[in-house]
């Protein structure tokens, strides 16, 4: 199956700082999503981004599928950004499941 690596595993930021989270994957994919798990445990879908760039407020994401990585940018971080960020990837054929990375704890 596809291997998914996220870096860094842990990140500590001062409020107002910017950060970049990275997701590397081992094979071509056509499904990639970023999730935020807040300190209360809720998993929120941030982006569905198999390729290209998207922005939503202070968050943006870029996926370069040909180079097998995706980046999540957080600008002007706030305390509400705390939690764990997961990347999940998949290929849309057969029953190949969506594979989650181990997350970045912010």
Partner 1 sequence: DTAVSQTPKYLVTQMGNDKSIKCEQNLGHDTMYWYKQDSKKFLKIMFSYNNKELIINETVPNRFSPKSPDKAHLNLHINSLELGDSAVYFCASSQVTWTGELFFGEGSRLTVL
Residues that bind partner 1 (CB under 8 A): 31, 33, 35, 37, 41-45, 48, 84, 86, 88, 90-92, 95-98, 100, 102-103, 105
CB 56 within 8 A of CB 47: yes
Nearer to partner 1, 11 or 98 (CB): 98
Sequence-separated (6 or more) residues with CB below 8 Å from residue 52: 62, 63
Nearer to partner 1, 58 or 97 (CB): 97
Nearer to partner 1, 31 or 62 (CB): 31
CB of 22 to partner 1, least distance (A): 18
Mapping DSSP onto H, E and C, the string for 77-103 reads: CCHHHCCEEEEEEECCCCCCCCEECCC
d(CA 35, CA 16): 21
Nearer to partner 1, 35 or 74 (CB): 35
d(CA 79, CA 12): 11
């Amino acid at each position: 199956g596809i291997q998914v690596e996220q870096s860094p595993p842990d990140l500590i930021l001062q409020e107002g700082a910017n950060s970049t989270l990275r997701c590397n994957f081992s094979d071509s994919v056509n499904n990639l999503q970023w999730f935020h798990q807040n300190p209360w445990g809720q998993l929120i879908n941030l982006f569905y981004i198999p390729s290209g760039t998207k922005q939503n407020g202070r968050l943006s994401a870029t996926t370069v599928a040909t180079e097998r990585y995706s980046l999540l940018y957080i600008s002007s971080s706030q305390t509400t950004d705390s939690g764990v960020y997961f990347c999940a990837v998949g290929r849309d054929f057969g029953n190949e499941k969506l594979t989650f990375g181990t997350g970045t704890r912010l």
